[in-house]
Amino acid sequence: MKAKRVKVLDPGEPLADSAARIVRIRLKEMRSFAPKALEFGATRDQHDMRIAAKRVRYVLEATEFCFGRRAETARRRARDLQGLLGELHDCDVMLPRVERHLSELRDADARAVRERAGDVADLDPRLAARAPHRTSYRGLEILLVHLQARRLLLFDRFREFWVEQERAGTWDRLERTIARRLRGARRRRAEKPARRGHPELQAAEREATSGAPRPAR
């Protein structure tokens, strides 16, 4: 999944303002996959949500100090979400691989049994009982059952986890923190032109920046 571009970043603004813009976009991306990802068969949406959760986690690992405890909590929960969806994705990858391998063994055994039968009117069932890979099927079928059952379990855990975080307000609280920071950023940008028109304010800003005392009048 390609990350959405963060369009408005000013290298001259405070780190927390730029970080807030990035976190807002990444969090919105992650949440956009619900409720579709909460459907059992929506494997693509679940995979994309995992990637989005990873991006939320990584940006918060670098910037959570700008936003306090709410960001720290959201970062931990994004990490947990990424892990759960990663385990779910592993099942989605392994299931078709095992099924494909099982199908290949069946095809190979069918060809081998046919060759052993030779020129006959019908196939002797005892030949199938001596197929080359006859001992492999049970283990693979059991593995398939394990993977299917594990996916059911992990999906239930994922859905419960997501509902729990929504109920706890994990993402909402972070969004409110981010929105408050961005409102402050807009207010500071609006104040800059007004400050430029007041020489005394400009002098005060230069003094604050340089640390030099103002000359006595």
Q: For position 16, what pLDDT does the model report? A: 94
Pick the closest to residue 30 from 179, 178, 176, 171 (CA basis): 171
The pLDDT assigned to 189 comes to 80
The answer as to whether 47 is a domain residue is yes
Q: Indicate whether 126 belongs to any domain.
A: no
Buried b (16+ CB within 10 A) or exposed e, 117-139: eeeeeeeeeebeeebeeeeeeee
Q: What pLDDT, on a 0 to 100 scale, did the predictor assign at position 104?
A: 94
- Residue 200: the pLDDT is 62
- The CA dihedral of 111, 115, 121, 126, to the nearest 10 degrees, is -80
In this prediction the pTM is 0.81
Position 36 scores a pLDDT of: 96
Closest CA to 166 of 76, 79, 74, 52: 74
Q: Is residue 169 part of a domain?
A: yes
Q: Identify whether 48 is part of a domain.
A: yes
Q: What is the mean pLDDT of each run of 10 residues along the chain (217 residues)?
A: 81 91 96 96 97 97 96 98 98 96 93 91 89 90 96 98 97 96 87 62 59 49
Q: Let me know if residue 132 belongs to a domain.
A: no
What total of structural domains would you count in the chain?
1
Q: Is residue 31 domain-resident?
A: yes
Residue 212 pLDDT: 46
3-state helix, strand, coil in the chain (%, to 5): 75, 0, 25
Question: Rounded distance, CA 167 to CA 4, Å?
Answer: 27
Q: Is residue 114 part of a domain?
A: no
The pLDDT value recorded for residue 49 is 98
Domain membership flag for residue 199 = no
Domain that holds residue 68: 15-92+147-186
